[in-house]
Structure 1
């Protein structure tokens, strides 16, 4: 049986306010091309189909289009819900949709009931385990502890109880969880419960293949235990990831797996750049990043004026700008100091501390106008200004 393992589509997600839907549609096109070209028998999608429980309409349309096209493909499809999905919404009409060869597994009460498919070597039991919220399953499953490990332990007990009645049959388990040995990125939603979110790899011992979802990087924890990762990058911490999916060839019982990583299309690469503004604007080796989504950390001792505007003239898709100066900042004047200074002087001192140099004459005039408009004070009096500064300038 030839299996395509993917997960974490996060349909409807944006990237620092950049719409990703067209890029996600490109991935769906790629997925269908792989199913056809590689003669895939089974597609497994291990959770987080959507980015949120109530997805936008355009994301629902894209998911509908993807499932209709997969239903008309050569492959059978199994999808499970992730921690970003609404299990109820994703699983709506699951029993009807089963008839089209699209199998939605979102109901925790049905864990342990497999989809069984046959190939030339006999049956394969596919157990799709949806994301299990420990608080939601603790009472119906009578868990002793409310933890991810306790919930998945019970889920795998149910899976093994089923497999015990299928001696010699091959098995595939889908799970959406944080399994020990893999590293998260910045874009996964924290699923920590009681300070513990990781589960041990030993929970999945004896399963022929475990298709994991939740982490956005591709990880091989064991030959039979893998994350596909998300097909697109959803944070700059994923700039070094290689996005894609796994093709898994499941042969006769007892034979080793054969796996191949299939890279996903990269609509726009990511780049993390650091240096002075002058260096970043002039360095010819950075030409390759001019069409990338860019995160910049400037190291100038004095913060350049209009830095983002200057950066975007060379790197038009700069999305994030930070500063990491080696100069020690003294900080704004203390409350005690401010009582003996005009508001205008406090503002000038703040600019000097921030930049390492005071405001320009034009900036001084603008600051004075803003302070005069807000504080209603003059050179000889501090009544209104004192009140504003002592209250944190909340007015």
Structure 2
């Protein structure tokens, strides 16, 4: 916890765990006599998606750079707890080795500075993420992955933290039915009623709270009214169902959310907040990334809301879209940027050109000036006489159908050469062999 020297004040809280000797950067220098006051501070981050790819691009270097910036923020803000609100990895199984190494490295680096409290998201494997959690706690890494123990608050640094990991309503229904008294009525909980499921978990947690410390919920969910789910996310919402109302979580003093990738607060409940993702994971995703910091006043107790602010995470290579240039103009712009040594030429770029005629060898030509670009042509004018009549496959061989397509693409004067025919026949033979097995 942030333990700040201040004149003539008595300590208003008990130390929980080993106290930090770091003073807040803006604490005034004072003369003796002094006493101590406790200023709990949380750094909230989420949606790292380690191992994520953007189209064909491996983002391991960008994620590492963003995490290095995160360490800089931790060094500057000196939080007492770092909260990760789910989706640590991008896939629940078979994570790339680089993602596992990054997780090992960053947890070691952060826990040298402050303890970590994390929950699994819908992209994580809850059991695997929490493997050996009883051992990792000794080093300052707390994985709150057990839905059955979500009501057990973790008292740390003058706060009481509750982990509400991603869950499907069926899991909550089974938990409630198991704990229900014998002969009780069946639990009414629809498979897509995430709000009621969350409300049951919240009621259990608040019913078990110690009541003395500010209460922090860490949850991974889609809070209704907080915007749309990101295109890079596995959706929780199905046909309008799947959302959790912000009011369901609002009784906590701060709610650290994960799932949506843009940093923002829920409407009418500014203490219910998404930290956003570590890096843009889709071309249409909000490009500005940050972490959220929440700090309570001296002597804060349950029912006390924190002061909240965000700190940006700046990464050299950005993700952006160009949708208002022709292909020729885009090439000229790229050549000018590369000649000037402008780092924007290395951005991850979705080049959605305005051309309506086919652009020959567009991707290869584009990558000469924008090596990390993806070509997109949304509109293409095709004259009626250029329409391609596919030969009837019931009366033509696959080789004849392919040759007709080849001629359509490359012109009437072009024909398959012997080398192309040999490669095609070999591919067809392999395909037939695979079908037989």
The alignment status of 1:333 with 2:389, answered yes or no, reads: yes
Query: Secondary structure at the residue paired with 1:310?
Result: helix
1:159 match: 205
Q: 1:137 aligns with which of 172, 176, 179?
A: 172
- Partner SS, residue 178 of structure 1: coil
Taking the aligned partners of 1:211 and 1:35, their CA distance within structure 2 comes to 17
* Structure 1 residue 325 displacement after superposition: 2.4
- 8 Å Cα contact 2:89-2:124 kept in structure 1: yes
Paired with 2:357 and 2:154, the residues of 1 have a C-alpha distance of 63
Q: What aligned pairs does 1:73-152 form with structure 2 within 5 A after superposition?
A: 73=113, 75-119=114-158, 124-142=159-177, 143-144=187-188, 145-147=190-192, 148-152=194-198
The count of aligned residue pairs is 358
Structure 2 match to 1:171 = 215
Q: Say which of 54, 62, 74 aligns to 1:35.
A: 74
> How far did residue 61 of structure 1 move?
2.1
CA contact (8 A) 1:332 1:349 kept: no
Please give the residue correspondences for 1:236-247 in structure 2 after superposition, counting only pairs within 5 Å.
236-238=283-285, 240-247=286-293
Query: What is the root-mean-square deviation of aligned Cα atoms in Å?
Result: 3.0
1:335 Cα offset (Å): 6.5
For residues 196 and 179 of structure 1, the distance between their equivalents in structure 2, rounded to whole angstroms, comes to 11
CA distance in 2, matches of 1:228, 1:264: 11
Q: Could you say what secondary structure the match of 1:11 adopts?
A: coil
Q: Deviations over 1:209-251 (max 9, x none)?
A: 100001111122132011111111111111x421111011122
Residue 63 (structure 1) aligned with residue 103 (structure 2) = yes
- Residue 310 of structure 2: which of 248, 251, 261 is its match? 261
Q: 2-side partners of 1:134 and 1:206: how far apart? A: 21
Partner of 1:355: none
Q: CA deviation at 1:269?
A: 0.8
CA distance in 1, matches of 2:334, 2:143: 50
Q: CA deviation at 1:368?
A: 10
The 8 Å contact of residues 344 and 368 in structure 1, kept in 2 or not, is answered as: no
Taking a change above 3 Å as real, the CA distance of residues 370 and 62 of structure 1, as seen in their structure-2 partners, is closer
Contact 1:80 1:174 (8 Å CA) reproduced: yes
Structure 2 residue aligned with 1:196: 241
Shift of 1:19: 2.0
Q: Which residue pairs with 1:365 in the alignment? A: 415
Note the alpha carbon deviations across 1:255-289, whole angstroms, 9 max, x for none: 55322211113131122123321121124898364
Task: Pick which of 1-10 and 214-223 moved more.
Answer: 214-223
- Residue 324 of structure 1 corresponds to which residue in structure 2? 378
- What is the TM-score of this pair, normalised by structure 2? 0.73
Quote the offset at 1:326 in angstroms. Answer: 5.5
Change (3 A) 1:329 1:99: farther
Do 1:343 and 1:371's aligned partners in 2 also have CA atoms closer than 8 Å? Answer: no
Within-5 A mapping of 1:345-364: 347=405, 350-351=408-409, 359=411, 361=413, 364=414
Deviations 1:41-93 (A, max 9, x none): 111000011111122233222212222222221x2220001111111111011
Q: Which runs of 5+ in 2 are unaligned?
A: 1-39, 178-186, 426-437
The yes-or-no answer on 1:310 pairing with 2:365 is yes
TM-score (ref. length: structure 1): 0.81
Indicate how the Cα distance of structure 1 residues 278 and 49 shifts in structure 2: closer, same or farther if over 3 A, else same. same
Structure-2 change in CA distance of 1:233 and 1:335 (3 Å): same
* SS of structure 2 residue aligned to 1:246: strand
Q: Secondary structure at the match of 1:316?
A: coil
Asked whether the equivalents of residues 358 and 380 of structure 2 are also in contact (C-alpha less than 8 Å), the reply is: no
**Secondary structure in 1 aligned to 2:368?**
helix
Would the aligned equivalents of 2:334 and 2:369 in 1 still touch at CA under 8 Å? no
Q: Residues of 1 paired with 2:232 and 2:274: CA distance?
A: 15
2:205 is paired with a residue whose SS is helix
C-alpha change, 1:369 and 1:49, in structure 2 (3 Å) is closer
- Give a deviation string over 1:100-146, Cα, whole Å, max 9, x none: 22211001110110111344xxxx21111111122333322235222
Aligned-partner Cα distance in 2 for 1:48–1:81: 6
